[in-house]
Structure 1
Amino acid sequence: MQQYKTGKWLIRQTIPLLLLLMMLLMQFIAPPALELNLQRLEGLLYDAKVQFLPPWPRNVSNIQIVDIDEASLHEIGRMPWDRNLFARLTTKLNEAGALLVVFDVLFSEPQTNAALAAVQSWPQHATLTAAQRQNLLEHATRQDADLHFASAFQSTEVVLANLLHRHGTLRSGELSVGGVRQQRPTGTTPFEPFSGFAAPIAPLTAAARGQGFMNADEDADGFIRRVSLLHQLDQQLYPSLALEAFRIYSLVEQVEPRWRQEADKAYLQGVQIGNSLIHTDQQGRILIPYRGGPKHYPYSAAADVLMDRINDLRFDQAVVFVGTSATGLADLRATPTSLTFPGVEIHATVFDGLMSPQHLPYRPDWWSGAILLQMLTVGLLCLWLFPRLGPLTSIAAAMILALLVITVNLWLWHQHVLDLPLLNLLLLVLLLSVYFISYGFAREARRRKHINNVFDQYLPPAHIERLLNDPASVSLAGEKKQLSVLFSDIRDFTGISESMSAQALKLWLNQFFSPVTKAILAHDGTIDKYVGDMVMAFWGAPLEEPAHASKSVQAAFAIIAAVEALNRQFVAQGSPIARIGIGINSGEMIVGDLGSDFRRNYTVIGDAVNLGSRLEGLTKFYGVPLLVSEFTREQATDFAYLLVDKVRVKGKLIPIRIYMPIAADTPEPQQNLYQELDLALTAYFTRDFDTALAQLTTLQIKAEQLEGSLQNEAKLQQHNLFDVRRLIAIYLQRIDAFSKHPPASDWDGSHAHNNK
């Protein structure tokens, strides 16, 4: 049994430890498929932070978005627009006071020069003189829209977009690399390289102030939560559109990648822009500090700018991002705050975040150690806490612990701008709490089943339900308690059994035990056992019962009444009637689930139990159906009693008084007889043997007369109620013996019984 318990304990502790170890390993070396799903779930938690936490403070810069929206396309025409329109748009923005114009539009193909094409295809072109052809060519070239667009850059600072290709080697346009310092330490961890690009055409690249990539970094679920500030192509690092715009806005010649050297490896730590360090991950990515849904920044329709319908100062000292929110142009992205977030506003949001790098959430170098420490702390707390709680309290504790983990994570996010993973911590709490709660419910189910199995045959259903609803109210372990125990036995059972066949005896006993058991359970008793014709029951356990003594006496009267009713059936059947003796004692007993590894029983043991058994045996000697000890009489004070004797039972030196409780419905003649008998016995115990002899002799005559007056039906009751003549005869014999051999001077009135 001890080995079995040890095995269960090891299993109970090993499984949660394995769960903790599994979660620790999964945090750092999860299988690719699982890691992909975990990233998706972690992304959802990030989305919740962005949506429900207060947005980061805005900087004071004027960020405007000029939108090539559906209305502009309807009014001006579908894309691609003529470059002269973009030149005009740039000029208008410059005239309105814009400091910087950032185009989230790709100009990787030159626009056809219609005038030049017409000149080159003119049939008379060959008949012109060289000077005429040169003049005509120069005039046609001056009509080139790309040159007009590039010339518009002279009046304002413009940043253009390029697109890097991860697959394929197609390269178009001219890529600018001057905005990033390329010097890197040895052992630098490589970025995931790109192999192609689509950049602005050479005239635009030459005229523009800067150039940055417009690539979007999608997570596994297609959402854009972070953006790369740097990408690598041909061993060169290139800035993003927002980073390049911020560099030019900050009047910085170059941005400088900051590296962290570890042994022979160097890892990207961030990007230095002037005096500001932008923390990034090793791939140069930052989290996008979304400030809400689309249209967080002021939008102006491109058509309104081109048609001079804007007369306010919204573009004064502004950084203007030019892009599109039109559905058909495929620049709408899925983000934590919207499934149709314009790509141009993502660049504007990143630029806004770079303006306040102290508000950009990031993961520090020590994030893995912090998560390991958090998981160990939370895991060990769960291992210590949950085994001490019940299933329902474990659910509450798990919710509180999960809320605490979330609160700490959000506090670090909002107060210290730290982006630490949250999913695995919550999964750890969930797994351990589900295990312990499931184990608790299983343990509770086993406990309920065990309680039901132990007490189903011994307790009334209502008590079993109370035990199941409140298992803590009962202890199956051995404990000392004040209880009352009852023994009931059939007199002359040996003779009855010899007169009946085995089958008939079994049916007769079943008929007898059923009403007796019902009477005990009806008075909240606990059936201990059946041994042959004997029934043993007790009160006060497993449920507390302050009135255990009174209820045991009530049950005894109910048993006597049930047997009287049963005897009428036996007489009608021609079966032997049952005469019973009941002994009750109250006192300190040991109660619990006792036994061996192979068989156990919820029972009571102790000297007080043995005394109850002795009293049941004495009922036959005294001819009474019910005897209780003086200890029971002291506690069951709501009954009348007749002192039967003062005895020393076998194994005991101190004498005790034994009594017969008198039922409240006892006929008045019998009650009077008992009162007179009590007076006679009082004289006996005070050594007034002459008075006792006279009174007992008179009572013997009255008892015979009373018995003769009873009907046959009442005789059955008399047999189980009290055979007064036998008790009188006992005391007459004792007085006669004392008349010949007087008792010693220290006689205490007790009688020794040496038989069990």
Structure 2
Amino acid sequence: MAGVGLLVLLIVSGVTTPLDNALYDLNARFWGYTPDNNVVIVAIDPKSLDTIGRFPWPRTVYAQLIDRLTADGVRGIGMDITLSTPANDPRDDQQVAAAIHRNGKVVLPVFAEAVNLGGPLQETLPVTAIAQNVAALGQVDVAKDADERVRGAYLKAGLGSPYWPSLALALIQLGKSPLSLLPGLRDPAINDASPYLWMRDNYVLLRYAGPVGAFGSFSAVDVLNGTIPADMLRNHWVLIGATAEGLGDILQTPESAMPGVEYQANVLESLERGYLVTPMNFLAQLLLAAAMLTLPLLLYGLPGIRRSGLLLLLTVVLVLVTSIALLRGAYLWWPPVTCLLVILIEFLVWRLLTRKRQR
């Protein structure tokens, strides 16, 4: 009972979270996969900047790029680019809106920001002319942990309630009814939130395909010039975003520093292939950890297990194997360090009491 009480305190405090994250990162490095090439990145890279000019680009460039992708028969387009400020010439916005309308499968980002320093959050959407022609809007909230690394994503988020799907989820749902059952850790407080708070829900951990460069990428200028064969784009998901350094869209992941558009590619690929990992909630963590505390009692006295050192080693191995088996077999993440710490403390107390009785 003392061990269960200690489990509650440690899980709630989050004191072992850095060690659990390190264990997840170590496992993730050996759990990569090869993308199916269904997701392609059209990159705003140094080559494109040298040819087209400095960023941000004129809206007419985006209109031409969308029309080119439409002619190549892409499956859908997700633009990880902000188009929330009206162009100097309203006709440029109309031109982009017309290109988006012709395609019919373009998703643009929405996010929250404070207009004034310290002021309330407001949702930032594309300009009206463009927003009225998109197939869907998707939030591009980035889930950073305390160490500033990005291990997961929120599939839903919004101001007051999480009603916006993520950019990747909005693409997957194009032409379909919204998915009724989404993976991810639910937020129990979403119904009691303030309308001025940015709420998140359905948190998932990512199984990254690998370090930066795992996904196929084409320079935006090459797509514009038609030098990329249409077969390499036809029926593919296309994500348009910045990859050039200095554009402020670089995220730190357990694998490597990664452009935001490639992070979105990992979310999209994992969502389509069912590779998203759901962290266990508090109650599930507690019940499983409490059950694992009985392992030493079940193993003690078995043939060949008489020494506390061997018993401790077997218990630690079984706890780690259980965590990894749930992760790789069921795509559930159970952080095991809290359970291991409590078991270690119990062994130390047991040894002290045993020596005291012997004296």
TM-score range, shorter chain: 0.7 to 0.9
- Is the aligned partner of 1:145 residue 2:92? yes
Partner of 1:49: 27
2:234 to 302, 316, 325: 316
Distance 2:141 2:313 in 1: 41
2:322 to 398, 401, 408: 408
Partner of 1:162: 110
Q: Is the 8 A contact 1:364 1:418 kept in 2?
A: yes
Partner of 2:336: 422
Q: Is the 8 A contact 2:87 2:93 kept in 1?
A: yes
Taking structure 2 as the reference length, the TM-score comes to: 0.83
Partner of 1:98: 74
1:355 CA displacement: 1.4
Q: Is the 8 A contact 1:98 1:320 kept in 2?
A: yes
Q: Is the 8 A contact 1:103 1:160 kept in 2?
A: yes
Distance 2:19 2:95 in 1: 50
Letter matched to residue 149 of structure 1:
V
Letter matched to residue 133 of structure 2:
A
Distance 1:321 1:289, change over 3 A: same
1:236 CA displacement: 6.5
1:112 CA displacement: 0.8
Partner of 1:29: 12
Distance 1:21 1:380 in 2: 15
Identity across aligned pairs (percent)?
Answer: 26
Letter matched to residue 98 of structure 1:
V
- Is the aligned partner of 1:196 residue 2:84? no
Letter matched to residue 97 of structure 2:
A
Distance 1:383 1:329 in 2: 59
- Is the aligned partner of 1:333 residue 2:251? yes
Q: Is the 8 A contact 2:183 2:204 kept in 1?
A: yes
Partner of 1:279: 183
Distance 1:328 1:382, change over 3 A: farther
Taking structure 1 as the reference length, the TM-score comes to: 0.41
Distance 2:148 2:298 in 1: 37
Distance 2:111 2:229 in 1: 35
The total of aligned residue pairs comes to 337
1:371 to 270, 277, 288: 288
Distance 1:326 1:408, change over 3 A: same
- Is the aligned partner of 1:231 residue 2:214? no
Q: Deviations over 1:288-336 (max 9, x none)?
A: 2212111211011112112332235210111100011212111111112
Distance 1:423 1:401, change over 3 A: same
1:197 CA displacement: 2.0
Task: Give the secondary-structure state (helix, strand or coil) at the position aligned to 1:75.
Answer: helix
Q: Which runs of 4+ in 1 moved over 6 A?
A: 382-385
Distance 2:300 2:348 in 1: 12
Task: Give the secondary-structure state (helix, strand or coil) at the position aligned to 1:281.
Answer: coil
1:352 to 229, 245, 269: 269
1:75 to 48, 51, 58: 51
User: What value does the CA root-mean-square deviation take over the aligned residues?
Assistant: 3.0
Partner of 1:682: none
Partner of 2:190: none
Task: Give the secondary-structure state (helix, strand or coil) at the position aligned to 1:427.
Answer: helix
- Where does structure 2 lack aligned partners over 5 or more consecutive residues? 187-200
Letter matched to residue 163 of structure 2:
L
Distance 1:73 1:432 in 2: 61
1:79 CA displacement: 0.6
1:556-635, aligned counterparts within 5 Å?
A: none
1:28 CA displacement: 4.2
Rg larger in 1 or in 2?
Answer: 1
Q: Which has the higher helix share?
A: 1
Q: Is the 8 A contact 2:203 2:278 kept in 1?
A: no
1:326-725, aligned counterparts within 5 Å?
A: 326-338=244-256, 340-357=257-274, 359-363=275-279, 367-368=284-285, 370-378=287-295, 380=297, 388-389=306-307, 394=309, 396-433=310-347, 439=352
- Where does structure 1 lack aligned partners over 5 or more consecutive residues? 1-16, 114-140, 171-193, 256-270, 451-756
